[in-house]
Amino acid sequence: MEAARHAVLGLDIGGTKLAVGVVTPDGRVSGFLAEPTRREDGHKVTIPRLFALGREAVRIARAEGVLGPGEDIAAAGISCGGPLDAVTGVLLGPLHLPGWIDVPIVDLAAAEFRVPVVLDNDATAAAYGEYRFGAGRGTSTMVYLTISTGVGGGAVIDGRLHRGAAGNGGEYGHIAVRPGGRPGFGNRAGTLEAYCSGTAIAARATEAVAALDGTGRTSVLSALSVIRAEDVAAAARDGDEVAREIWNETIELLAVAVTDLVNILEPDLVVLGGGVTRSGALLLDPLREQVLAQAMPPAAAAVRIELAQLGDMVGVVGAGAVALDRVAPSTVPSTLTDLHV
């Protein structure tokens, strides 16, 4: 593989897995590695493991010729769920990492790798990765939603990454789709995440199966000791009535949120990623149909709705994309490119 100038290290800190890789300026990934987070170990144990993975990714990239003789990574990017402070480089208390309070992750990484380091919200970074190297290439305004354990997202507006005044913009999971409905995060009920995340789909299906007792109705989901979102999708695809009710409601409420985003931002493209989207056309086709029917005509005529392309590497590529703009700034706001040295 040809050596690439300004290759960077992407570090993705998830609640279930740590992932790393060296990302080149054209979006290729070398040395991709992942292992369980084991968040119960705490940050004092987990961060050294993350950095050791990063060093191994750099070693692999050098062995593959991505880094030339004597060449090192030019920067590192870190992707993590919030809340966080991207300007100071501090993890304030990520919801998926209990006990990670006021962790100066950027300073720690800069001391470890001795290169400029940037930090960004995981969904925001993923949005930028898809924009630069995935489904969003060639677009001007793109909205990205990740529908997985939770629901998050990000946007690139007129070629500029939107991060919000506090750096945690794109919390689309908090959009109200059924006010007063199922409990969501904090005191807000009826949110998109409370209905359409993988966790919520599984919980709603479990409740629906429990409610079948004495009704005479049946479902293949009743035979499962633990119901997952992918089980609901598979049963819905096979025509199970209970699963289809859950799935159709999921599509309906997701379409409400996506329609709002389309009307407000009028993007060229909406990209859907995350584990729930592995259901493919079962999710995408009816969602696309409903959004295009409900959105304002000019916005509906302008937008495409597609699945993400970067798969399990999206966190690493996103972190790398943000770091690449530290090395060779493109169209992101200057406040992002000047974060840390």
In a domain, 2, yes or no: no
**Of 33-37, 79-83, 249-253, which range is least confident?**
79-83
Both 176 and 95 in one domain: the answer is no
How many CB atoms within 10 Å of residue 71?
15
Tokens 């985003």, residue?
261
Both 141 and 103 in one domain: the answer is no
185 compared with 300, residue with greater pLDDT: 300
- The alpha helices in the chain, defined as continuous H runs, are 43-63, 105-113, 122-133, 192-196, 198-210, 229-237, 241-265, 281-294, 297-302, 314-327, 334-337
* β pairing state of 269-273 and 304-307: parallel
In a domain, 235, yes or no: yes
* Mean pLDDT computed over 78-99: 90
In a domain, 86, yes or no: yes
Instruction: Give the tens place of pLDDT for each residue, 136-160.
Output: 999 999 999 999 888 989 999 998 8
Q: Does residue 177 contact residue 257 with C-beta atoms inside 8 Å?
A: yes
In a domain, 332, yes or no: yes
Instruction: Give the tens place of pLDDT for each residue, 254-310.
Output: 999 999 999 999 999 999 999 899 999 999 999 999 999 999 999 999 999 999 999
In a domain, 80, yes or no: yes
pLDDT given at position 338: 39
Both 96 and 154 in one domain: the answer is no
pLDDT given at position 95: 81
In a domain, 56, yes or no: yes
CATH number for the domain harbouring residue 172: 3.30.420.40
Both 187 and 219 in one domain: the answer is yes
pLDDT given at position 192: 95
pLDDT given at position 341: 32
**Best CA proximity match to 62, nearest among 20, 26, 110, 30:** 30
How many CB atoms within 10 Å of residue 244?
16
* Mean pLDDT computed over 2-7: 70
The structure tokens listed for 317 are 């590529």
The structure tokens listed for 335 are 């406040």
pLDDT given at position 246: 98
Residue 187 has pLDDT above 90, yes or no: no
Both 90 and 201 in one domain: the answer is no
Q: CB within 8 A of 154, min separation 6: which ones?
A: 121, 123, 124, 125, 126, 127, 128, 143, 144, 161, 162, 169, 170
Both 154 and 16 in one domain: the answer is no
Residue 100 has pLDDT above 50, yes or no: yes
Global pTM exceeds 0.75: yes
Instruction: Give the tens place of pLDDT for each residue, 195-217.
Output: 999 999 999 999 999 999 888 89
* Mean pLDDT computed over 96-108: 94
Both 111 and 180 in one domain: the answer is no
Tokens 């199970």, residue?
240
Both 105 and 190 in one domain: the answer is no
* Averaged confidence pLDDT in the chain: 90
Give the structural domain span for 281: 135-308
Structure confidence at residue 109 as a pLDDT band (50, 70, 90):
very high
In a domain, 129, yes or no: no
Structure confidence at residue 77 as a pLDDT band (50, 70, 90):
very high
Both 160 and 304 in one domain: the answer is yes
Q: What is the CA radius of gyration of the chain?
A: 21
Helix/strand/coil percent split, the chain, to 5: 45, 20, 35
pLDDT given at position 315: 93
Instruction: Give the tens place of pLDDT for each residue, 16-50.
Output: 899 999 999 999 999 999 999 998 899 999 999 99
Both 103 and 218 in one domain: the answer is no
**Best CA proximity match to 23, nearest among 54, 50, 46:** 54
**Structural domain total, the chain:** 2
The structure tokens listed for 257 are 């949120």
339 compared with 259, residue with greater pLDDT: 259
Tokens 């209905």, residue?
195
Q: What is the DSSP letter of 25?
A: T
pLDDT given at position 78: 97
Q: CB within 8 A of 9, min separation 6: which ones?
A: 20, 21, 22, 23, 54, 57, 58, 73, 75, 76, 77, 113, 115, 320, 323
Both 304 and 320 in one domain: the answer is no
pLDDT given at position 6: 84
Structure confidence at residue 328 as a pLDDT band (50, 70, 90):
low
**What is the Cα–Cα distance from 287 to 257, expressed in whole angstroms?**
11
331 compared with 245, residue with greater pLDDT: 245
Q: Does residue 200 contact residue 182 with C-beta atoms inside 8 Å?
A: yes
End-to-end CA distance of the chain: 29
In a domain, 187, yes or no: yes
Both 216 and 265 in one domain: the answer is yes
pLDDT given at position 335: 36
The structure tokens listed for 209 are 């199966």
